[in-house]
Chains A and B, each alone.
Chain A
Amino acid sequence: MTVPTGSRHVTVVTPWYPTRLLPFRGAFVQTMVEATAPGCDSMTVIHGDRWSAKISADQDKAVNRAHLALLPRTKRVSSTVAGATLNYLPVPMPAEVGFADTATRHEATLRAALDGKLIDADVVHVHEALPSGWAVLDHLRPETRLFVTEHASFLEQLLDQSDAREMYDKVLDRCEGLFVVGDGTRDVLLKALPRHAAKVSLVPNPISFDHPRPEPVTALRRWLFLGGLIPRKGVNWLLEAFAKCHAEDPALTLTIVGDGELGGQLRKRAEELGVQDVVTFAGSVGPEVALQMMREHDLLVHASRWESFGVTVVEAVAAGMPVLVTRCGGPEETLAGIEDAAGELVAVEEDDASLVEGYRRLRDRFPQGLDLDKAQQTLNERYGYPAVARMHHRVWFE
């Protein structure tokens, strides 16, 4: 794997990057590349993409043997955003594989792709200590500086497993800095591995503020949900809350964007609640389409139980949308000081009451009680591309 070099060449290694199968996953890594690549001589993204399949142990062995043999013969390199190069590496594995085993498989794939060479970069920045940090450890030049960004919403479960925690510890030993996107993630990490406290700091996900909506929101009628249709996202409570608010105002609509295990259940529940005609299930869409949808809706409703950052919330404000969002970790940090200007934060509850009441409060004080321009300006200073790029370039090159 030959990569162009320069005094400011950076290789980004990530398990998450948008693909045709999962166009949303890793959009924040793509925005990080888009924001930071312009300040580098060159940037290469290595995307180790988990390919899960329901296969037996024997099939798994045969698949891995074939995979490692095929890898050097495949065309995997293409261009991605901001002039960066994308090197795509599928990582096949059975559906149920633990964190440590997953990291080991990523390492084996990277090893086969590198074909005995080291990663030719002055700076290697990985997303997720496991699997990506572990995957690169044996393939760095001695002088290469290693940085990690940790986003994993499942970090607590990962660090509960002793083998995975041990591997994570080794990654932290080698890296110069580990960046987290929120205090919640930092707390989880330092509880498990306190001796690395000095290396851990906060660097947010970059958000583009370049595409505001043409007309401001005039009424909070068109609700939008963007995210996985999984229990952690609280989308079931969102649907219940929407049905109650729709009963008060039949002009309300809800667009649910995303796929997941709850898809069928949610459609059925929408029918039971009698809101099937005003709830649209749009499936998964790519980041560009998602941002366009934000400009075409009036209110982002984000009902997560836990988020390390909550990119969607900041993107919605960047797109000129008010937000109704749960205090699920990340959003209370990202919206600190501008909660009322951006929308309404509500408690995480295992029912729909806080969302319904939050919507009523927001509706009653809209638009005078909000200041979306101020919210946008504040968030741009915190999470805009120039701000986040400056932070990365400072730690990488100074």
Chain B
Amino acid sequence: MNILFLALGASRKRAVVEECAKVVADGGTATVMVESIAPWQRAGFATGVTVIDSASLQRAQLPLRIERLVVYRGPEFLLRKVLGRRGKRAAGAYKKKVADRFHRRVFMPAYQRLRGDTRSALVAQHITRSPRPFDWIVIADPVSMPEAAQVMDTLGTGSRVGLAYSVDHIS
């Protein structure tokens, strides 16, 4: 069985870790979609469990790759080149005070307005493009519920992927 855990809120970590271990032990595959890797670093996932940072799905999109080049890497490269030894510090300050703020306050809101709430679309895309089809999505915490609803809407009624709150309820 191929299971995708939506664990964006990280509020039920123990259940997710144990259920992933059960899936893997039973010969299945478990992928855990998280908001950020940091809270999960010491979670102790069983070998073979795949953890995906949902932001990494977004970062792989062309507009975000272009933004990264134009807003981050280009200016940082120039600052280092022009300012020499002081360039590293200036590039750090630029990233924090200009690039990150622009990304957060201007780029992402505009991007989301133009493209819709893309994270759910990207998760849905991840599900449909997976080389091994997902059988179930396990909703693992409250924060993942709105995302799960959007993902299911994006997948449409024809999707065969099932929804559950725990692998213990999947026969």
Using CB atoms and an 8 Å cutoff, list the residues of chain A in contact with chain B.
19-21, 51-55, 59, 62-63, 65-67, 69-70, 73-78, 88, 90, 92-93
Quick one: CB contact mask for B151-163 with A, threshold 8 Å, 1 for yes? 0100000000011
Contact B11 A74 (CB under 8 A): no
What DSSP secondary structure best describes chain A's contact surface? mixed
- Which of the candidate stretches B26-34, B64-72, B90-98, B141-149 sits at the interface with the other chain? B141-149
Contact B142 A19 (CB under 8 A): no
Contact A53 B9 (CB under 8 A): yes
B169 partner, pick from A65, A66, A69, A88, beta carbons under 8 A: A88
User: Can you list 20 contacts pairing A with B, beta carbon distance less than 8 Å?
Assistant: A20-B15, A20-B168, A51-B12, A52-B11, A52-B142, A53-B11, A55-B143, A59-B143, A65-B146, A67-B142, A70-B139, A70-B149, A73-B163, A75-B162, A75-B163, A76-B164, A76-B165, A76-B169, A78-B171, A92-B142
CB closest residue in chain A, given B14? A21
A88-B165 contact, Cβ under 8 Å, with A20-B18, A66-B149: yes
B166 is an interface residue with CB less than 8 A from chain A: yes
- Which of B12, B142, B148, B171 has the most CB atoms of chain A within a 10 A radius of its CB? B142
CB closest residue in chain B, given A69? B149
Count A-B pairs with CB separation below 8 Å: 75
Task: Please measure, in the bound complex, the distance between the C-alpha atom of A51 and the C-alpha atom of B9, giving whole angstroms.
Answer: 11
CB closest residue in chain A, given B143? A53
Contact B143 A90 (CB under 8 A): no
What DSSP secondary structure best describes chain B's contact surface? mixed
Chain B contacts for A75, CB-based, 8 A: 136, 162-164, 169-170
Could you tell me the distance in whole angstroms from the C-beta of B156 to the nearest C-beta in chain A? Answer: 13
B35 is an interface residue with CB less than 8 A from chain A: no
Contact B142 A70 (CB under 8 A): no
B76 is an interface residue with CB less than 8 A from chain A: no
Task: Please measure, in the bound complex, the distance between the C-alpha atom of A217 and the C-alpha atom of B165, giving whole angstroms.
Answer: 43
Contact B15 A70 (CB under 8 A): no
Q: Which 8 A-B pairs give the minimum distances between C-beta atoms?
A: A92-B142, A66-B149, A66-B145, A21-B15, A66-B146, A53-B142, A20-B15, A53-B11
Chain A contacts for B11, CB-based, 8 A: 51-54
A67-B145 contact, Cβ under 8 Å, with A19-B15, A53-B9: yes
CB closest residue in chain B, given A78? B169
